[in-house]
Amino acid sequence: MLPKNAELIINMFNDAGYEAYAVGGYMRDKLLGRNSDDIDITTNALPEQTKSVFSGFSVLETGIKHGTVTILIDHTPYEVTTYRTDGEYTDSRHPDNVEFVRDVKTDLARRDFTMNAIAYSHRTGYLDFFGGFEDIKKKIIRTVGDPYKRFSEDALRILRALRFSSVLGFAIEENTQKAIFDLADNIALVAPERIFTELKKLLCGDNAYAVLKEYAAVLNRVIKLNGEVDNISKLPKDHSMRFAYVCGASVGESLRFLRADNQTKHICKMLVDSEPIPNDITDCRIYCSKLGREYSRIVFDYRKSLYNEDQSGICEFVLENDKCLSVSELDINGNDLMGICISGKNIRVVLNELLLCVLTDKIENKKESLLLKAKDIDIR
């Protein structure tokens, strides 16, 4: 059931007189027959005690304030957290403090959903105090305890519920769902980076369409769904493509609010602004040249998936076979142009002009022809 290194960790705790269990997403995914490589372990050993049990290993203090250390075995990280309960939440984001506790049930009770509150050890078997097994069997997401209380403590849980519903295809239990709609405003309090992380996973889930439809009113608190939804599952599971599709023209604004990385912002803008893929080979070269090789493929995939464009594969052909789609791929450079007395800003102007000539088959991409042509270009 558990990978051998997780068993080793649990054995070492037990042999030193402590309790330890695998818990959280790993157990949930295992019961669902899904692969998961990140294993969380929960123990009654305090962080300092964990460090001494694993003194022969590399132990990183990754979240020592919250009782978490990471043990590295064979380059794989295992997060070990001391049983704890969360103190008061005054900001709907972070517990004001955490308190270490003695028994595993209290630790499991602080976890968000019943399916995430199952503990297991190969020595003692399963611990399932909150009906996690039953809910997994019925494919239901249900908070541990009163949903209003749990979502008021930490609004990130609302987004996690929607994300799990999308990724696992689980329904959200009635009361839990009611609380989500009633407390939806709170999700705007969650740190933008964390909202972004959850939304990326949500949009790439198998069940994204249903979740976007059902929970649009909730999601609209943090993302402007001004694009489309209906064909989302035709797109590859790529978060940029999916953000561009569901936000449409509002994608820039939404991504800025979510403090998304520049790469995502750039790709999304390109996708939203993209024009139909040309059917003519020359037009297609110019099209690819404007986007750049790297991004052309993303735009093709996007438009092919959604609109069935480029059935004939011309663009694929251009990317595979055309050796010159950018100024840097010309068989000539700025130094060559300086050699024929072209300088300053004119260098770029001439290189661009030469590229256009190559793309439109007016000249070959060979230094002699390019130099000859360069002398001819009228620079104003």
Site residues (vs Mg ion, CB under 5 A) = 25, 38
Rounded Cα distance, 158 and 45, in Å? 31
Residue 302 is classified by DSSP as: H
157 part of the interface to ligand ATP, by CB under 6 A: yes
Nearer to ligand ATP, 108 or 219 (CB): 108
- The least distance separating ligand ATP from the CB of residue 84, rounded to whole angstroms, comes to 11
Nearer to Mg ion, 78 or 287 (CB): 78
77 part of the interface to ligand ATP, by CB under 6 A: no
Burial class of 256 by CB neighbour count within 10 A (0 to 12, 13 to 18, 19+) = exposed
For the segment 4-63, give every residue that binds ligand ATP (CB under 6 A).
24-25, 38, 40
Among 80, 136, 156, 314, the residue binding ligand ATP under the rule CB under 6 A is: 156
- The least distance separating ligand ATP from the CB of residue 111, rounded to whole angstroms, comes to 3
Instruction: Note the maximum CA span of the chain.
Output: 85
Among 44, 116, 176, 296, the residue binding ligand ATP under the rule CB under 6 A is: 116
- The least distance separating Mg ion from the CB of residue 41, rounded to whole angstroms, comes to 11
Residue type, 9: I
**Residue 116, binding choice from ligand ATP, Mg ion, none, Cβ under 5 to 8 Å by partner class:** ligand ATP
**By CB under 6 A, which span of 112-120, 185-193, 209-217, 239-247 interacts with ligand ATP?**
112-120
What is the spatial order of strands in the sheet that 76-82 belongs to? 58-63, 68-73, 76-82, 40-43, 20-23, 119-121, 125-127
Give the tokens for residue 357. Answer: 């000539």
Question: How would DSSP label each residue in 166-227?
Answer: HHH-PEEPHHHHHHHHHTGGGGGGS-HHHHHHHHHHHHTSTTHHHHHHHTHHHHTTTS---S
**Residue 166, binding choice from Mg ion, ligand ATP, none, Cβ under 5 to 8 Å by partner class:** none
Give the tokens for residue 112. Answer: 């968000």
Are 32 and 168 in contact, with CB atoms under 8 Å apart? yes
> How, if at all, do strands 171-172 and 140-141 pair?
parallel
- The least distance separating Mg ion from the CB of residue 238, rounded to whole angstroms, comes to 22
Rounded Cα distance, 275 and 299, in Å? 9
Among 19, 107, 112, 238, the residue binding ligand ATP under the rule CB under 6 A is: 112
- The least distance separating ligand ATP from the CB of residue 25, rounded to whole angstroms, comes to 2
By beta-carbon distance, which residue lies closest to ligand ATP? 25
Q: Which residues bind ligand ATP (CB under 6 A)?
A: 24-25, 38, 40, 111-112, 116-117, 154, 156-157
